[in-house]
Structure 1
Amino acid sequence: MTYYIQAEPSTNVVQHIFFCHDKSFEMWRAFPHVLMIDATYKTNMYNLPFLQVVGMSSTNHTFCVAHAFLSNEQEATYVWVLERVRSMLHECMEPRLILTDRDQALINACRKIFPGAHRYLCKFHILQNIVKHCKGSFNGQDWEAFINQWKTVCNSATEELYKYNVLNLQRHLVNQQLTCIQLFVSAWTNQTLTFLQSTTSRAEGAHAALKKQLTTRRCSLESLVKKVDTLVLKQYAQIKKSLEESRTKRMNSHLQIPMFSNLLLKVSIHALNLLENELTRRIDTLRSFGSTCACQLYSGAGLLCACRLERLQNTDCVIQLEDIDIFWR
């Protein structure tokens, strides 16, 4: 483990503790593309917020990047934590995507430390806030209809679809405006690489996995760090196994797709599965529903979308490795 401690200068009282597992360091430098940040609570005897920073591998596995015990959740505190995270990436690529809830202090810190990353809001947390503040204003059926329409708005693939879906939603809104839509609506988020991530659910999952190991919500900091050690080692083993499979295992369904021939054993099996699923989304099928490809997989994940795959298939061409974003290789 690598530790950093920040203390109050005048009293020398410890305020924040940052730590990173050696295996986390290894995984973070291998997959620095995606960063998700979220705090969890009621994990330790001092009632300190416990910040988990997590990443994502090309094989679709979650891993813990770093952790921190915080005495407060102010911007300066988050800056200190993220500076430690960035220092681990010396001579490596920095994250291209950061997902958070709408904690303005955290958002500001991310902007300062990783100015080149695309920063988006977690759709899950937005939905939670809508449920908390709005559900009481609806009856049962109207609420279900509203939520379904809201999800449709969030998943709008193009700006034109967004405008159309918002009009359908308007009858449920009274003197309300949709703000910060560029930070969570697909029409805008998918214009940049998100690797199909729109929530911090991976961080929430890391919270749940950790809390499942806790026998009490008032454990010592030392005990909590030991639980983190167990969690990280498990994640490392899973990712190592999945990477080895991608380098050595050829899936039968992939072998049956000639255009994949250049990609086998060179990109993750998960990426090939995404491409295989996209092949079923034929452009003519999409048009039969009066829609278009929208190219979400291409612009949002760095993989070829339905219309591009169809063009290759019609000309008996294969996908080149250069057509796949480096994240998946």
Structure 2
Amino acid sequence: MHQRTDTVENADDDPGDRKPSVVDSVKVEAPMKIEASVKVEASSVNFDVGKLRDNEVDTTHLFSTRDTWKDKEELLDWVRRQANRVGFTSGEHKLLKRKVKHEATRSRKCGCLFKVRGYVVRENNFWKLVILNGVHNHEMVRYVAGHLLSGRLMEDDKKIVHDLTDSSVKPKSILTNLKKKRKESITNIKQVYNERHKFKKAKRDDLTEMQYLISKLEENVYVHYVREKKESQNVQDIFWTHPTSVKLFNNFPTVLIMDSTYKTNLYRMPLFEIVGVTSTYLTYSVGFAFMTSEKEDNFTWALQMLLKLLEPNSDMPKVVVTDRDPSMMKVVANVLPDSSAILCYFHVGKNVRSRIIIDCKVKHNVVVVDGQKKIVDEENHRPALGHRPRVRRPRAHAGRGSKIFLRNGPVLDYVETTILKPFKDKLVKAWTDLVLHLRCRTTNRVEGAHGAVKEYLSTSKGIWVLVGKK
């Protein structure tokens, strides 16, 4: 009568290439024919358990059981759980087939002789366990979580990570999903990040990040333009948009809102985003551009590529809303001379409030009023922003322009010289209401689009692979 056995054991290591560590392994041999009894060589069983040397630990009592298991996987799971409880890991050791990269690098294996063997009983086809050597020649670790072997991802876990990564699920949500699927899992977030990185790198193959981005844009039929540096073939700027955005832009070109955002890629390149407004006051994306810097040359190229999207008989944009970026304002005036420029009054008001606090030397605290943070005077506990300038709308018959009521001279000078005199026609409602701006006097719409893009990318230091598939 034959017997089928599966061995759970450690592979011997080269004595000259050992480094003290806490690593054990599980090795499952191919099934053999079943016998009624288990034959074990006497030389492989440890009879000298009572005499332990330094750093040796006897774990025989933890694996001594009369339990049976339905299949091999149940047996291996039980062995791994017991190993994690006591403080050592299990896995299959393989000898290196190639030379290590650094001569100072050594193996983590310590030649532990711990060995247990699983076998199948013919009468009921259940699996049982026999201990061949329950002694370890190393100390047990205190915390097994996050260990290289004990926390490794199984093949099923890797497939889950790959599928959820393709669905743009965040790493912490992936880890939660893995622990729900397998409650005994002690995988940590670092191993999830490592597997995501391997998966994305494998998808990219030998292509660079920029090459992969361009290939995905071509694959999804995006309209894109690339500008390279003159002295080299490195990409300087890249502009892209979706075909649906091109149709919307030709139908609703009246108002454009432009702004740049940051922390969207590993290379710290600004992401220049342009959005438009439909006749029903809905926001749509017009185009995106990665630029090496926010200089006039970069903005000029991006807006020139934007105008290429317009059909010959389409109307030109009538209103362009931006923040007070000097380079962008100058480029808009040059590339779109027939358009009316409007400055975001929210950003201007924020600058004025900051100037009031500095010039008026207001001692302020931040308190929460009606769920909103407000700056208040420390002494009178009243809003310090009450000192902001009040602008009276000029009338057509009044030749004096705007009149400002303010208690402090330096702030009045700042508002008049820095804001009103150069930009009153782009900021004050009396002038901005003369153009059809569709109630867009701030950059809030493009700021909201920035938030949606960043949430979709799910990382601030990702690579263009993420953007390439969007």
TM-score, normalised by the number of residues in structure 1 = 0.62
Whether the 8 Å CA contact 2:257–2:320 is kept in 1: the answer is yes
Q: Secondary structure at the match of 1:46?
A: coil
Q: Which of the pair has the greater relative contact order for Cα pairs under 8 Å at 6+ separation? A: 1
CA distance in 2, matches of 1:73, 1:167: 34
CA distance in 2, matches of 1:4, 1:51: 14
Instruction: Map residues 269-284 of structure 1 onto 2, 5 A cutoff.
Output: none
Instruction: Map residues 133-282 of structure 1 onto 2, 5 A cutoff.
Output: 133-136=355-358, 137-139=361-363, 140=377, 141=382, 143-147=384-388, 150=389, 152-153=390-391, 156=393, 158=395, 166-169=403-406, 171=408, 173-176=411-414, 177=416, 178-179=420-421, 180-227=423-470
Instruction: Tell me how far 1:67 sits from its aligned partner.
Output: 0.2
Q: Which of 48, 55, 72 is 2:293 aligned to?
A: 72
Instruction: Tell me how far 1:168 sits from its aligned partner.
Output: 2.2
In structure 2, the CA distance between the partners of 1:223 and 1:89, relative to structure 1 (3 Å rule), is same
CA distance in 2, matches of 1:107, 1:56: 20
Instruction: Tell me how far 1:74 sits from its aligned partner.
Output: 0.9
The reply to whether residue 29 of structure 1 matches residue 254 of structure 2 is no
Instruction: Tell me how far 1:102 sits from its aligned partner.
Output: 1.4
Instruction: Tell me how far 1:175 sits from its aligned partner.
Output: 3.6
Whether the 8 Å CA contact 1:159–1:187 is kept in 2: the answer is no
Where structure 2 has 5 or more consecutive residues not aligned to the other structure, the ranges are 1-221, 364-376
Where structure 1 has 5 or more consecutive residues not aligned to the other structure, the ranges are 228-329
Instruction: Tell me how far 1:169 sits from its aligned partner.
Output: 3.0
CA distance in 2, matches of 1:144, 1:161: 29
Looking at secondary structure, tell me which structure has more helix per residue.
1
Whether the 8 Å CA contact 1:162–1:187 is kept in 2: the answer is no
Report what 2:149 is aligned to: none
Report what 2:272 is aligned to: 51
Identity %, equivalent residues: 29
In structure 2, the CA distance between the partners of 1:226 and 1:74, relative to structure 1 (3 Å rule), is same
CA distance in 1, matches of 2:397, 2:404: 11
Q: Secondary structure at the match of 2:430?
A: helix
Report what 1:39 is aligned to: 260
CA distance in 2, matches of 1:202, 1:162: 35
Report what 2:168 is aligned to: none
1:173-220 CA distance string (max 9 Å, x none): 354323321210001111222222111111111011111223210111
TM-score, normalised by the number of residues in structure 2 = 0.44
Q: Secondary structure at the match of 1:222?
A: helix
The reply to whether residue 121 of structure 1 matches residue 364 of structure 2 is no
Q: Number of paired residues?
A: 223
The structure with more radius of gyration: 2
Whether the 8 Å CA contact 2:275–2:285 is kept in 1: the answer is yes
CA distance in 1, matches of 2:396, 2:323: 23
CA distance in 2, matches of 1:85, 1:206: 18
1:263-298 CA distance string (max 9 Å, x none): xxxxxxxxxxxxxxxxxxxxxxxxxxxxxxxxxxxx
Looking at secondary structure, tell me which structure has more strand per residue.
2
Q: Secondary structure at the match of 2:331?
A: helix
Instruction: Tell me how far 1:162 sits from its aligned partner.
Output: 11
